Every structure is written in structure tokens, then in C-alpha cells.
Structure 1
Amino acid sequence: MKSLLVSSIEEYSGKSAVIIALGQILKERGFSVGYFKPFGIGITRIGDRFVDEDVYNTATVLQTGDALDDICPVTLDKPYVEFARSADLPELKQRVRESYTRVAAGKDIVLVESAGEYKFGKALELCDFNIASMLDLNILLVVKYTSDFVLDKILAARELLGDRLRFIIFNQLSGYKTAYVEELNERFFKQNGITLLGTLPYSPLLAGLSVREIADALHGEWLIRGKRGEEVIIEELLIGAMSPPAALKYFRRVRHAALITGGDRADLQNLALESGTIECLLLTGNLEPAATIIGRAEELGVPIILVADDTLTTIERLDEALGKARIRGAAKVKKVKELVEQFVDLDLLIAHAD
């Protein structure tokens, strides 16, 4: 079974999610699975070392047994232009080859993740075309249907990546767009030698953020952490700028929601705590709530996070963070695996992957 480069035409399209799901499913089917990301760009500090965040998360879930330095041999540890100017390109490519050889040893398939999207790394000769050619990989494109012009982006990628682009999965698809994808498959994908493996529906859970991720994104201060811990997933956001009667209508319609409101709006805070649908309070303006609110939140186990920014800035930061939601925590890992099992033709992938 030929190894697979999981690529995308845009960042944050769901590559890591698909790899996590495919890796688990293939392991359950008896395949020995490796994971590899030749060029890591999302560097973060984990303990006493700097690693690509997606690499650390995916490797932790898949437990392939390989060293992180082999899984991700090239990491962007300085601004990209500075990195590219000083890089020894033959040495980088040799490092990638040697690490891949170690990761692939004894594996039936290696799931290789691209850096951001398919053009990233071109200046280093580590873009997806270079990597696929160097390591002899088929390419699976994970696509978000952000607009109808996504078709042009896919065909442009096909022109650059050539016959190695074999498969496509659409992610977070909703409504009428599913029918559009079927038409695109008949009219364009099949004619270009691209096999549509499936369409994954939009999932509020997968698009959501954990309370911990929200606190980190907002640089917030924990007032109450809550009984269910920091890994509660928030799927919806409500802005508390209305009267309590108006707010109650919204509270009844949502599930797994966070309320963004001022620290001085005790009326809305109390109503939210008693609603049963608001699972986190985000209090803006650095205004601490009344002691009675803190006490009641502690009783109910509802987290409260104090945010220094105003409400508008808080919303903007959360919008940005939601666009980059990652697959963390057991609930998300389980959900994405279920979706891939249900909506992706894995037998077709395996049959055509040789």
C-alpha cells in the first residue's frame, strides 16, 4: 500500500483530523501505520522543547512509536524568509529522506502531512509536489467548501501536482453544497483522474473550542474552572447585550454555549447559570462578577473566565481561534473517527492506494 501525502489548498482545512481518523481506522484493520510531517511550521513549546503543535497532537493520538525529531525533521524555528535565506537545501532534503526512511521502516503505510497548504515550502524545495516526488507518494486533498471558487483552486492544484493528486475529501460540508460536490465530481474530478472518497458533514463539536483553548486564546483569567474541567467543548457563542427576557429566548435555543458579557451584567450572568445550556461565562472589560455569581457558578460547576478586552475585541479573537480549531481531546477524536468511518469510502482508498 503506497504511502499518502495529505494535503490541502488552504490552511486549517482538516488535514490533521483526517490523518488522526485514517490512522486509527487503518490500525484497527490490521495495518501498521506511520505518521510523518516533513516541514513543521506551527511551532509551540511543549515542556522544554519546541515542536510543531499538530505533530505533537497527532503523534500523541496515533502512538506510532517514532521519535518526534524523525516524525518532523524540519521545523520553522525563525521567520520564514530568514530561514529560507540561510537554509542548506540539499541538507534539508537529505534530512527529510533519512527521517522518512526510519519512520517508514516496518510500516504498511505512512500518512504524510503537508505544511499548511500545498504550496508552502516551495522556496525550500519542500512543497507538496517536491515531497511527493522525493518520497514517491500519492496525494489526498482535504478541502473546505469555502466558496464556489474552490473548484478553480482544486483544478489549479491538479495542474501543479499532476497525476500524484489521486484523491479528494470535502470537509465540514453543509446543506446544498453536498449536491454541488456530486456534480463537480462527475463534471471535473473524474475527468482529471481524481477520486472523490467522501464528504464529511459540518460538526459543531469539531468546529468548537474547549474552555481551555478559549481561555488561552483570550489570555483570560480563570475565576472558576468548573466541575467538568477545561476540556468542555463550546459549540456556540452568545453575546449578552440584551434584556433578560430577550436573552432567555436565545438561552433556550442553544446547546453547549458560552455567554460573552460584561462583568457588571449580573442579571444575564445569573440567568445564564440557571439556564442549563450555558456552559461557560466569558466576562469582558476586566470587571469581576458579584460574589453571589461566583458562588453559584462554583455550585453548578460552570467555568468563569475574566477577560481584559472589551466585548468586540473578545469576539474578534474568538472568531480567529474558531477558524483554527484543532482535534484535541477524546470527544473530538472519537467524533472525527466516526464521521470518516461513515462518510469516507476507505475500501476505495485502500484498493487504489497501491
Structure 2
Amino acid sequence: MISLYVGSTSGYTGKTLITMGLGQKFKKDGLRVGYIKPVGILPVKVDDILTDNDAWRIYRALEMKDHISDICPVVLTQELEVKSYLKDIKGLLTKIVKSYNQLSKDKDIMLVGGYGSIYTGNYLGLQGLHVIKRLNSKVIIVVKYEGEYIVDYVLQAKKDLRDKFLGVILNKVTIEHKQSANEYAVPFLKRKGVDILGIIPHDSIVGSVTVEELNEMLGGKVLCCHDKLSNLVEHFLIGAMQVDKAIEYFKKIRNNAVIVGGDRPDIQLSAIESGSICLILTGELYPSEIILSRAEQKDIPILVVREDTYSIAKKLEKMSARLRLRDKAKVDRGMNLVIENVNFPLLYKKMGLKID
């Protein structure tokens, strides 16, 4: 039985969707697949059992039959987080190993979902590196490709993981970054002995959320263009610059939602004129009639939210990735993207598996 840990060197790299895609392909190739997320940070109750939201989505996507209570043995509730800072919590790793051993019975491969990065979790005594060692897992590192600088993180992970490191998947590679990935990062990593297990392109549909979903998540109020709430948002921009730089900034990135203080009509107007998908006005401050009228003319919904700009930006960073996994069509599309762009023959070879 092979244990395969899907980890990263930072958060929000797309590990959940990649885990789904890997699992689906393994099942199609006739392997008996198990799954565990040792530590979850998104508590949710399923049939009155506490588990993790991402783990539950993977469980359903891969049509698992194992007991739900085992798929995420440690769920980071607010209570557990507070306790862990006040005193050492005993027995968490033992609990993970117990669930892992139960789930891995009669399996050919166990997918282990990392949370945060492989360096996250020290304060719980559950750093990714420690869990990997205890479960004797081989490791795939998933990196959101944003430039050549990511090679430093990959090389550090390779050094820290030693013989457990299988290779890297470069995820969400945009058209703008494709050339630098192919011409610089990939040849460099190969020269350093790093196997490239996949290069997955950014997909605008998989990587988007609707304005309506955003509004639900933020608890906002829609002021106009209610018929445009199905518009898709791919990027979130913070409108906190000088107005002369704002238009250029907003035009550079397509399908964006601009988070801006309700007291910045100059930035609001720049976003509208630049063709942003929607405006998120913070501080529960309402726009002027001029702004509202112009937004209606341009079919750009305006949402008003209570929290400040920084708090909203942090909330979107944490939650937007999870929103993208709510839609089954997006999940299926994302899994197919993984299957089409991961080098499975190489991965199977690295794992020592022979697939007919």
C-alpha cells in the first residue's frame, strides 16, 4: 500500500482539486483509493459528525464509502485552537494514525491531504513534515506558479523531504506565466533533479466565482444590477492606490472585483470605467448617486459590506477557493484538467506502481 501526501510550500495552491483529480484517475486505473485529511481548518457537521469541508467535498467527489468520522480526525475548531495555545494537546497524532490505519485497510493507495504548507501545524505538534514521516508518505508538492521565484521553495521542500519527495506540480499557470515556466523554471528544476509531474494551466471557469456567491459569503447588500449576479469573478483587487494608477491597474487584470472603501468615489469610478465585474464597497458606506447611476449604465453590480477593506480581502483569500468547489460542473472540469495535465506514467513510476 502506498501513502501519497499532497502538500505545498504555501496555502491556497489548489491542493484540494488536484487531490480530487489524482484520486479519480487512480480509481479509473483500477486502484483501490483511500483518503484522509489529517488536519482540517474548515469545520462542518455532516450527519452530526464534525469533519472538514474540503475533506467532505473530496469524499463525495471520489464516492468514498469509509466512515466520515475518520476522514478528518483533527478538526481545528476555535476551541481546539485556543486550547493549543494555552497548553500542549496530547494524542492528536495518535488519533490521526488510528484513523489512517482504519482507512488504509484493503487499499492500494492512500491520498493524504495536506493543510496549509508542509511547515504548518507546529503549534499543534502536527507539522506537515512530522505527519509525513509518521505515515511514511511519499510527497507531491503543489505550487501555484506566479513566477520563477517559486523554484526556491521547491528546492527547499526537496531538501527537507529527502527521499520522500516525488516531484512538483505547477498549478494555475496563466498564459502570461507560461513562457517563463517552460523556458526558465522547468529546465532549472529538472537540472536540479526535480521531476515535473504536471503543469496545469489556469482555467477561467474553474477559477471563478459568481457575484451572487460573493455576496452570500460576505453578507453584503446588492445595490444595483441584480440581473448581473451570475457574472463570473476571477480576481480580487484592492483599490488603495492613487487614482491616476488605478485605471491602468484595473485594466491589466480581466474579470476582476474591486474591493474599495465606500469613501473613495474616485477609485470606484475608475473601477467602473475600467470594466470591473463588480465593486465591493467596505465600511458600510454607500456610494453617491453619480457612482450608482454609472454602475447601472455599465451593468456593474455594487455590493456594500460592513467590514473594512483589509478584513474583506483576508476573508476572500480564505474562502473564495472553497466557493469554487461548490459547483459540480466546475469540480468535474477541474478534475479533468488535472487528469489531462499530470504525467501519470511518470508518477506511477516514481511510486513504484505498474498499471496495465
Range into which the TM-score falls when normalised by the shorter chain: 0.7 to 0.9
Equivalent residue for 2:106?
A: 106
Normalised to the residue count of structure 1, the TM-score between the two structures is: 0.74
Contact 2:220 2:303 in 1 (8 A): yes
Say whether 1:287 aligns with 2:286.
Answer: yes
Secondary structure of the equivalent of 2:107?
coil
Distance 1:226 1:178, change over 3 A: farther
- Cα pair distance change 1:305/1:51, threshold 3 Å: farther
SS state of the match for residue 111, structure 1? strand
- CA change 1:182–1:334 in 2 (3 A) is same
Show structure 2 runs of 5+ residues with no match: 240-246
Q: CA deviation at 1:254?
A: 8.6
Task: Indicate how the Cα distance of structure 1 residues 287 and 176 shifts in structure 2: closer, same or farther if over 3 A, else same.
Answer: same
Does 1:166 pair with 2:170? no
Tell me how far apart the structure 2 counterparts of residues 158 and 250 of structure 1 sit (CA, whole Å): 36
2:2 counterpart SS class:
coil
User: What SS does the aligned partner of 2:333 have?
Assistant: helix
**Equivalent residue, structure 2, for 1:177:** 181
**2:320 partner SS:** coil
Contact persistence 2:206–2:334 (CA under 8 A): yes
| Alignment match, 1:186 | 190
- Structure 2 counterpart SS, 1:176: helix
Q: % of aligned pairs identical?
A: 28
Asked whether the equivalents of residues 7 and 139 of structure 1 are also in contact (C-alpha less than 8 Å), the reply is yes
Show the counterpart of 1:87: 89
Counterpart of 1:218?
A: 218
2 CA distance for matches of 1:237 and 1:73? 33
Q: 5+ residue gaps in structure 1?
A: 240-246
Residue 82 of structure 1 deviates from its aligned partner by: 3.0
Partner of 2:242: none
Matching residue of 2:195: 195
Residue in 2 that maps onto 1:69? 69
SS, match of residue 55 in structure 1: helix
Q: Deviations over 1:281-327 (max 9, x none)?
A: 6566553898xx99x98xxx997644346xxx558724762476324
- Which SS does the other structure have where 1:169 is aligned? strand
Find the aligned partners of 1:138 and 1:20 in 2 and give their Cα distance.
Answer: 17
> Offset of 1:113 from its aligned partner?
0.8
Give the Å deviation of 1:333: 1.3
Q: 1:46 to 1:196 in 2, by over 3 A?
A: same
What is the CA-CA distance between 1:198 and the residue it aligns to?
1.5
* Aligned counterparts, 1:10-89, within 5 A: 10-40=10-40, 42-46=41-45, 50-77=50-77, 78=79, 80=81, 82-83=83-84, 85-89=87-91
State the secondary structure of the residue aligned to 2:55.
Answer: helix
Q: Distance in 2 between matches of 1:160 and 1:253?
A: 38
3-state secondary structure, aligned to 1:3: strand
Alignment root-mean-square deviation, CA: 4.2
The number of equivalent residue pairs is 333
| 2:3 pairs with 1:3 | yes
- The superposition leaves residues 90-114 of structure 1 with CA deviations (integer Å, 9 ceiling, x where unpaired) of xx23221221122222322221011
Paired residue secondary structure (2:205): helix
Amino acid at match of 1:350: Y
Q: 1:55 & 1:225 partners in 2: Cα distance? A: 36
